């Protein structure tokens, strides 16, 4: 695996509680690494929920140059910076890889009057202020952008719906389950339990084509003529100041882990779309994403004055 090898336990830090989106990524990655014995040291998942999944970044900042600590990363690090929530983005750390993309599902209770994507669009068109939507982690993230595109297609002000933001997608789903919100816009895996139990229905997904399994009957927004194809990617970042041999070690380890049958099984189980990238392509993508998100968030009126 290269010239450097870990000397003690590896920590994979997730910004959500057990069962949350970032936790699922961390545990799937730890399982793939451990099952194939890619490392000779233990791998531990550390959960740090709260503050919109931002706590791990303060934790990682304590370990500059130490490759034994990594965090599950996402688009949120870019959008939080651009909206002024944080004073740092991916450049404050060492991006190591993107692992996959997870598309956004719009879900409602099965007893809701919102029984289809068309009905949601009609409600947003006629009375958007009466629609309450639950989102996870922060405004400006891919979930929020997906919602904004749907609202805009309906001809409404993107600020019109009532939005409730939670630290975890599981909490956003729970907000719909208790009747506080009409619909949740969350990563697809986050509502699997409720869909399987029949307490919720999927209205639509933001994927380029329909998802399988429990989402097979849910149309894409594209099928509804809505320009809404967007996903939330998940990746891995290390602390700032990692040496080239540390980066080489992690790139080889992550590439090997995402090639295993264990990882591929989790991709299918969680409705994740494979999308591995590291090195120069990863750095170029992050630069491009920042430019694209600057434009999108500017149009939504969410761009920080200092961004």
Per-residue confidence (pLDDT) for residue 139, from 0 to 100: 87
Q: Are 140 and 83 in contact (CB under 8 A)?
A: yes
pLDDT at 66: 98
pLDDT, mean over the chain: 95
Q: H helices of the chain, where?
A: 21-35, 55-60, 76-82, 117-126, 142-153, 169-177, 192-197, 244-257, 261-269, 279-299
State the pLDDT at residue 2.
Answer: 54
Q: How far apart are CA 7 and CA 64, in angstroms?
A: 16
Confidence of residue 307 (pLDDT cuts 50, 70, 90): low
Q: From residue 303, how far is each of 6, 111, 132, 140, 287 by CA, in Å?
A: 40, 37, 23, 9, 17
pLDDT the model gives residue 302: 85
Nearest to 134 by CA among 77, 194, 212: 194
Higher pLDDT pick, 296 / 126: 126
Phi and psi angles of residue 305, each rounded to the nearest 5 degrees, phi first: -60, -30
- This model's pTM is above 0.85: yes
The maximal CA–CA distance of the chain, rounded, in angstroms, is 62
Give residue-wise pLDDT tens across range 21-63. 899 999 999 999 999 899 999 999 999 998 888 999 999 999 9
What number of CA atoms fall less than 13 Å from residue 99's CA on the CB side? Answer: 30
Q: Which residues of 76-87 are buried (b: 16+ CB within 10 A; e: fewer)?
A: bbbbbbbbebbe
DSSP 64: T
| Mean pLDDT across 145-155 | 95
Residue 235 near residue 98, CB atoms below 8 Å: yes
The answer to whether 9 and 69 are in contact (CB under 8 A) is no
pLDDT digits (tens, 9 = 90+) for 223-275: 999 999 999 999 999 999 999 999 999 999 999 999 999 999 999 999 999 99
């Amino acid at each position: 695996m290269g010239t450097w090898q870990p000397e003690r336990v590896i920590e994979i830090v997730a910004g959500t509680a057990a069962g949350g989106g970032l936790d699922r990524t961390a545990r799937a990655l730890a399982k793939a690494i451990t099952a194939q014995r890619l490392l000779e040291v233990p791998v531990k998942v550390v959960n740090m929920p709260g503050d919109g999944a931002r706590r791990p970044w303060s934790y990682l900042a304590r370990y500059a140059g130490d490759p034994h600590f990594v965090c599950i990363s996402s688009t949120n690090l870019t959008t939080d910076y651009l909206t002024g929530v944080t004073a740092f983005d991916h450049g404050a750390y060492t991006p190591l890889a993107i692992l996959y993309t997870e598309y956004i599902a719009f879900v409602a209770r099965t007893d809701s009057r919102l029984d289809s994507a068309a009905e949601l669009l009609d409600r947003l068109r006629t009375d958007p202020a009466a629609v309450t939507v639950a989102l996870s982690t922060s405004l400006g993230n891919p979930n929020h952008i997906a919602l904004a595109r749907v609202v805009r297609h309906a001809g409404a002000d993107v600020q019109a719906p009532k939005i409730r933001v939670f630290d975890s997608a599981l909490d956003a789903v729970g907000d719909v389950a208790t009747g506080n919100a009409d619909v949740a816009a969350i990563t697809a895996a986050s509502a699997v339990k409720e869909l399987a139990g029949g307490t919720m229905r999927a209205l639509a997904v933001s994927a380029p084509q329909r998802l399988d399994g429990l989402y097979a009957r849910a149309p894409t927004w594209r099928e509804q003529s809505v320009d809404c194809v967007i996903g939330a990617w998940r990746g891995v970042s290390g602390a700032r100041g990692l040496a080239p041999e540390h980066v080489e070690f992690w790139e080889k380890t992550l590439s090997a882990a995402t090639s295993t049958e264990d990882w591929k099984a989790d991709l299918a189980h969680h409705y994740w779309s494979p999308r591995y990238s590291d090195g120069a392509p990863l750095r170029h993508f992050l630069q491009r994403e920042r430019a694209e998100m600057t434009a999108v968030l500017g149009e939504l009126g969410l761009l920080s004055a200092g961004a």
